Structures are given as structure tokens and as C-alpha cells.
Chain A
């Protein structure tokens, strides 16, 4: 079975239940939005799926990606990409360096891939730039392209548009979802912005 699925996921912190039990199936190309107030454990769910959940949390249940059980799989082996509200571009690398960081080591023609990603982000010729010299929208686009260059089999969005200016937000939503749909991978977004959910257009789960 392809796509992202999880069964009966429950998160506990300090002995108290934070979230769950929660089950979901995301087919390739599907976008699901989880909405809920802050502190409801939305972000922790994404961390659980990435394999980067803090040790303070206890998780039960299971998650599968393209038919493989993710239990015990190291984050770097899961091939699940994530975007946060901050672009988190590595400040010590150039724009191209950030993109190249994500490309698998054995990929041929790395430079071609980087240039193509820059073109897709409408940032031709920006490769050598310091990420801090880019605008917020430009950085967000680089951040998405970086996540996609790692060839993820699923992508998670953690309030991805909340820090962008209001006028940028609409454009960025379009850009993100268009690219994700093009890649035909499942996408799980957590947000508390109804407009995000509307733009995603998929199933909405309210906590």
C-alpha cells in the first residue's frame, strides 16, 4: 500500500495524554489538514512521524510509509520532509548550498538539479547569495525546494505560512500546494489558520 498511514497514535507527556488515539490514511497526492489550538500536540504528531519526537514524549501506535513500518527507523532514513513556520535555511551555506545539502549524495548532475530548483522558485541566478539577503517569500520558496530536492515520499507542513506577510501568504500557499501536487506525494499540514485549510482543499481533521 502506498502513501502515509498511521494507526491509533497516542502521545503522552509527563504521564498525561496529549493527543490521540488518532488514525489517518493519506494516499499519494492527498492533502490532509489537522486543525487545533496551540498545545494540542499537532506539532508533536509531526515530530513523531519524522522520528524527531523529543524524549520527554511517549508515543504508542504505529505509522507506515509506502507499506514500510516506520517504527525504529532513523529520521534520515524515513524520507519524510518537513517545513516549519521559519524557513530554517542554514545560515552558513549559500542559497545553492542549502539546496545541494538536500540532494541525495549519489545523484548525478547536482548543479543541474540546483539550477532547476532555483528556476522553479523563480530565483534564477540567486545560487551564490547569502540566504539572509533574500526576502521572506524568497526564503520560504527556497526552503520548500530544499525539502523537495531530498525526494521525500511524504511531506509535513507545520504552520508553514504563519510568519509570512498577509499579502505574501496567498501566493505562497498556491506555490507550495502546486509543487506538492506535482510530486504526487501525501501531505499532512497542521495549522490554526482556516485559510490554510481552504487553500489545501483536502480533508480537515479538527482536534
Chain B
């Protein structure tokens, strides 16, 4: 077997022309054969777990790769493991091969040079990724990805509600506050330690902050307080009207869904436009569940997979990353009976043998129309999210 370093040099040199790229990819496929890939991915969502289990079946059949899903409570666990291994001097043979990552975790790994690669452009299916129409595929939270991660899943914030209980959901932050005051205890959000919980604050910040352009760069001590002051004023007014009077929060997005289904709350945030549709199909929400965006648009981002610099089997991890970009995997992900996320690919550019997977997407209830979904807004710099989450902690933990 080729040493990893040699392989990287060889792969990097050969990637220059398509013919060599093909032979380089064949070498990658050969190196991947029979290897294990420990895919560290948040394990709190059953539909995603099932999708990863399906991926494992497919890559075993097609590439003889043994994909293991390490179900994380928090993506940070995997990042921390890589850091611990680096601290212990384990620069190869690491325990993490592939991470589902974006935002602050991606930035933390990038800043500490813990990523393998760049590798994304070497993946054969990357050429079909929509990098112009869906800019978040190459710029993650304002941070250029630079090929250190491969996109696999698009996300955009929606608010899910039960139309039988809440016929007209609020579509702006002001409306949300007014509605919560009239209906105390009917709204919550995941804890801000959770990605989606922090996103709830970020979305409000986007709408409430005086100067949105500041969000494109990291916050500074000079501009932070003024930028977030309106958000906290809004939140302080909202919090006593939240579920459990704003003292307890669900640990994750799916945990909110249980509350919505039971009728404990009437409105919840989600990062998947198909959340209502998928949940109805899986009997997790009533058939009257619907999803909506906001008048001013909602934040959208891309989920990536990256490979730690010390991964035991980077070649096999790349093959999995490439499979996630295949028409077959993207079409299944796009299917609301499975995940219902928008694809990261530009379907029009796909060759017919890949395009065929995107057949008839069944029309099922709960999918928002384009108008209901609204405009996609770019993610603020991860620094905002980190500081918001820390601030929130100080406010809520007493």
C-alpha cells in the first residue's frame, strides 16, 4: 500500500489533467477497497441515521468500503477527538475518517489545520456541484471552503407549525414576539449549545441587527455589542413567553418535533424545508403540519463532509464523500420520503445516467412552495454564532 504522504503528493501532481485525474481516482478507489471509514455524524435525527445506514450498504456493495456511523451527540465531540489525537502526537491512523461538519466546527478545524486535503475538487462528482447558484457549497459561513470539505446537503431555515392549531404562523420576528405574548408557552427553540438553537438566534439577529453587512466578517469587540443589542432586547421580551417560561430548552431539533406533535408547542424552527413533509410521511407530525419561511428570507447553508488530517483511511473517506455527491445519493436525499433536502448538485448539468435518479418526486403534503419558503440568506461569519451562544449561556444559566 502506498504511504499516505506519497499518495497525496502523487494525487496532487496528477490531478492537473483529466486523464491523469481519472487514473489518480482509480488509485484512490483501489486504496479504498476493503477499508473502514468511521463517519462521525450527529446521531440525533433518525432519518439522517437511516440515510447513512443506506449509504453504508451502497458503498459496501459498490466499493467494498466498511462505513461505520459514529453517532455523535454533538459534532464537537469528533473535532475534540482529532485535537486530542494531535496533542498526543498521533498524526496518522486517527480514529475519525469523515465528519459531517460546517460552521464553527469547520472553521475551528480549518484554523488549526486539522483538515486533510484540499480534496473536494478531486472528487469526480464535484464537477456537478452547483457553485454559482448555491454559493454556500463553496463558502461556508463566509469562510471559503478551499476544497477542505465536500458538500452533500443543502439546508434552509423554515418554521414548522400545525396548521390545525395555528392557521397563520408569524412570518417576521416582530410578529413572532407578538404572537408568543398572546400565546405564552407555545414556542421554544433548541438550546443555543445546539447548532439549530444558535441558528434561531442568528436568524433573529439577521432581521433585527441595524447593519447586516457587518455579519459577513468576524465580529469585533467594537461592533459586537451594538449589533446584537436589538436581538437581546427582542429575546428578553420573548423568553418569559417561551415554553417552560424560557428556563428549559429541547436538546435538539428533533426533540422540538416531539413537543410539536404532542401539542406542547405550536411552532418550531428547522433547517430542512421538507421537515413537515418528511415528518408527516413518517408519522412524526400530524398531516396538518406545514412549513414556512419568513417575509425577509431565511438563512441557508450547506452541510459538508471533511476528512481529518490524520484519518486512518482518507482514500476510502474520499470515495464515500464522492458517493454522497452522486446522482443516486443526492436523489434519495432529495426525496421527501427520505430526507427531503434540496440537492447540492446542478441537476441540469448531470449526465443522463445520473439524472435518471431524479425522477418523479412524489408530491406529498407539507412541502412549502417557493413563495412560502422565501429568499435564501447567507450565513453570518461563524464568530457571530459562537459569541451569541456564549452570551445566551450567560443569560440562561444562573
State yes or no: do A and B touch (Cβ within 8 Å).
no
